[in-house]
Amino acid sequence: MTDTQPDAPSDAAAPAVIDIEGLSMVYRGRSQETVALKDANLTVRAGEFISLIGPSGCGKTTLLRLVADLIQPSSGHIQVAGKTPREARLERAYGYVFQAPVLYDWRTVISNVMLPLEIMGIERQRRRERAADLLTMVGLEDFQRQYPWQLSGGMQQRVSIARALAFDPKLLLMDEPFGALDEITREAMNLELLRIWQETGKTVVFVTHSIPEAVFLSTRIVVMTPRPGKIERVVEVDLPYPRDERTRESERFFELATHVRETLRETH
């Protein structure tokens, strides 16, 4: 096992996309304070696929939202592509995919994908081409003119991924994107995501509850523990690429999955 310290760079050659140092987040309720994240340190290098795994309430989503500048930390530092999260957000340095597809009901599939480009102010013809390309990439080129309610859950989530990639961010933040899907669709989507990741060379931070999913997708798995949420350990996943269906059945896959599971159990 080649577990590393959380802040130790795995591949010192690649530049750090996310650099987290001593990050804490305390939610102040009416009567009590909830420590959602305590003293987290993590460095994500370009091109990595990082999974955040852990039970509910361990601060996975909080960590992701802090990076995305959707909330502000109580203490500690974050750098996203060498800038503060706010600067990174304003420069549209990342794409965000939620657990729910969060598609806009009143927009067709293609114009949902075009929305970020619209906001960026890209001219009509170019954003249409780009959106069409992205939909082709996620295999929905035939569904451009449909409304979201006409699509299945998996298809909706693929639209959501296409939309997150719309302005070609270096970083993709995914918050349990396949959590609401059935196992079969989920595995198909995993393969799809791996393909997209390899095609585009993005850096992905992926929150999940599923150990096989984390092992199958990631280059590194960040294991987190709850109350207070903190980063317990980082597991290197040395499964070779390209990964496919057979990878799931390999011995190494099981070893890694077991290792992650044991780590989770220990720390719980």
Contact set with another protein (CB under 8 A): 65, 68-70, 89-92, 94-96, 98, 100, 102, 104-107, 115-116, 118-120, 147, 149-150
Backbone dihedral region of 234: left (phi > 0), alpha (psi from -120 to 50 degrees) or beta?
beta
Least Cβ distance, residue 127 to another protein (angstroms): 13
Sheet containing strand 16-28, strands side by side:
33-45, 16-28, 75-80
Least Cβ distance, residue 143 to another protein (angstroms): 14
116 versus 212: smaller Cβ distance to another protein: 116
138 φ/ψ angles, rounded to the nearest 5 degrees: -90, 5
99 versus 247: smaller Cβ distance to another protein: 99
Record the tokens describing residue 33, joined without a space.
Answer: 């304070």
Least Cβ distance, residue 31 to another protein (angstroms): 23
42 versus 97: smaller Cβ distance to another protein: 97
Using alpha carbons, select from 238, 232, 195, 207 the residue that is nearest to residue 220: 238
Give the list of residues 6+ apart from residue 195 with CB closer than 8 angstroms, or none: none
Least Cβ distance, residue 102 to another protein (angstroms): 5
Query: Taking a C-beta distance cutoff of 8 angstroms, is the pair 219, 25 a contact?
Result: no
Least Cβ distance, residue 106 to another protein (angstroms): 4
69 versus 213: smaller Cβ distance to another protein: 69
Query: Taking a C-beta distance cutoff of 8 angstroms, is the pair 24, 10 a contact?
Result: no
134 versus 194: smaller Cβ distance to another protein: 134
Using alpha carbons, select from 110, 204, 106 the residue that is nearest to residue 163: 110
